[in-house]
Amino acid sequence: MSTVTAVSGGNRRLYYWEEVTENWSTPRSPSNAAGLPTWAEHGLRALREGLGREPGTVAGMRYLHRVELTDTARNAEHMPRSYQAEHAALTLFGLHQHGAAKPVHRPGTGLGSACQALWLHQAADSQKTGGRRLTTEQERRTATPVQRRLAAAATALDLDELVHHLRGLVPMLRQAEIGLDYTRLHRDLCDWLTPHHGRVLRAWGLQSTGSPADAAESRHGEKDVAPAYWAGFDPARPDAGAELAALRSGLGEEAGTVPAMWGYYRTTMGSELRAKGALTRDLIAEHAALALFGLHQQGRKQSMHTPDASPGTACRLLLARNKNTDRAALERRLGVLLTSLDTGELTHHLRSLVPLLRQADIGLDYDLLRKALRHWDDPKRPDAQSRLRSTWDRDFRRTDPQT
């Protein structure tokens, strides 16, 4: 038996933040400059009283909830997740709306989008006051206070910790007059630490690092892709080690769910897909390639991104440079890699090959690798896997006097 009456659907009652926004009016008097009806002012006061309090313990908030509890739920030791999430969203809304001249509930503005707008706002203010302007690539690599706060929220281990971090972000948004879709935030809070957790993280990360150019498409119908991180990597850069550690943290993790990697993605994606936290083939391939590059480059003084070096070419060079390498064992390893059934299996076998290449200072073409990971099991490209398999095998067996 369900303990909560559903609030979704076409006939649901509006959430409190939606009611406040719908009933917002022009200023009526000096004492009510915000244009809020009296009932909304009382409600917002009750919401602020709920900050840091347990759901269901603030009498003034009970009538503001739209998630309805059954008797069973009221008598349970813990309130249902959806009720707890609504309590959190309500209190954050009360904090956000306090003293604001306009409604702060902005449908369509996800948390990541709001944080990106806040970052742009702060960057503009910094330039006005004579702050140093960073290059685009430096901006991607430099974590701002806003991005650090968002990343901290994204790594919260429970709902209480998440709300604690969001309470630090909301006043910054209010000060910059940036709103937030509280209906979406409520859904995100409901999905926290559930099977939908990855979608929430991806949406925040993709929104916070997106740009208007993401909607552009090339003449061939494929999205334009900015130069990848590995293409401009400089091992001598002071923060190179920290960046590579961030990339390695993505090994074995789902694409878009590792906040430390958000600033390194270059995959373009339309705003609608970003808002949904879509797990696209492009993103999966770039995530895998970035994590492998972080593993490959670790401790090396020269870039391991080597144009035209396929896995077959790299294995051939490994045999040529290291006479102690067991050819039969290496052929078996390459054979297992070439017979991978999908991108996940291919990534797994590349992960075991990369340390051998790193030890011998042999690189890989990571642009080529990203494309291979993108197309390996794409049903729209049924011949891609066999073509790549044949090419890599031919690269391995090719006779090259220079090697």
Report the C-alpha gap between 234 and 238 in whole angstroms.
9
DSSP string, 229-278: GGGG--TTSTTHHHHHHHHHTTTTSPTT--GGGGGG------HHHHHHT-
Report the C-alpha gap between 132 and 25 in whole angstroms.
41
Short-list 129, 276, 137, CA closest to 199: 276
Q: Distance from first CA to last CA of the chain, Å, rounded?
A: 70
Short-list 183, 184, 160, 180, CA closest to 170: 180
Contact 296, 354 (CB under 8 A): yes
Cα dist. 141→100, 125, 265 in Å? Answer: 33, 20, 10
H-type helices in 252-365, by residue range?
271-276, 281-297, 311-321, 327-338, 343-359
Local structure of residue 194 (DSSP, 8 states) = S
Name the amino acid, one letter, at 250: G
Short-list 145, 161, 142, CA closest to 153: 161
Structure tokens at 84: 């707890």
Measured on CA atoms in the order 43, 45, 50, 52, is the torsion positive or negative?
positive
Measured on CA atoms in the order 239, 296, 343, 286, is the torsion positive or negative?
positive
Q: Rounded to the nearest 5 degrees, what angle is found at the Cα of 215, between the Cα atoms of 205 and 112?
A: 20
Structure tokens at 59: 């009498």
Tens-digit pLDDT profile for the chain (403 aa)?
A: 334 444 444 567 899 999 999 888 755 555 555 567 778 888 899 999 999 899 888 888 989 999 887 767 666 677 889 999 999 999 999 999 998 889 999 999 999 999 999 988 888 776 666 555 545 555 555 557 888 899 999 999 999 999 999 999 999 999 999 999 999 999 999 999 999 999 999 999 999 887 544 444 433 444 555 789 999 999 999 999 999 999 999 999 999 999 999 999 999 888 888 888 999 999 999 999 999 999 999 999 999 999 999 999 999 999 988 777 788 999 999 999 999 999 999 999 999 999 999 999 999 999 999 999 999 999 999 899 999 999 999 999 887 545 5
- Distance from CA of residue 165 to its chain's centroid? 17
Contact 183, 86 (CB under 8 A): no
Report the C-alpha gap between 44 and 47 in whole angstroms.
5
Strand, helix or coil for residue 5:
strand
Short-list 163, 273, 255, 262, CA closest to 217: 273
Residue 293: half-sphere exposure toward Cβ, Cα within 13 Å: 34
Query: What's the pLDDT at 39?
Result: 80
pTM of the model: 0.85
Report the C-alpha gap between 98 and 174 in whole angstroms.
8
Report the C-alpha gap between 395 and 389 in whole angstroms.
10
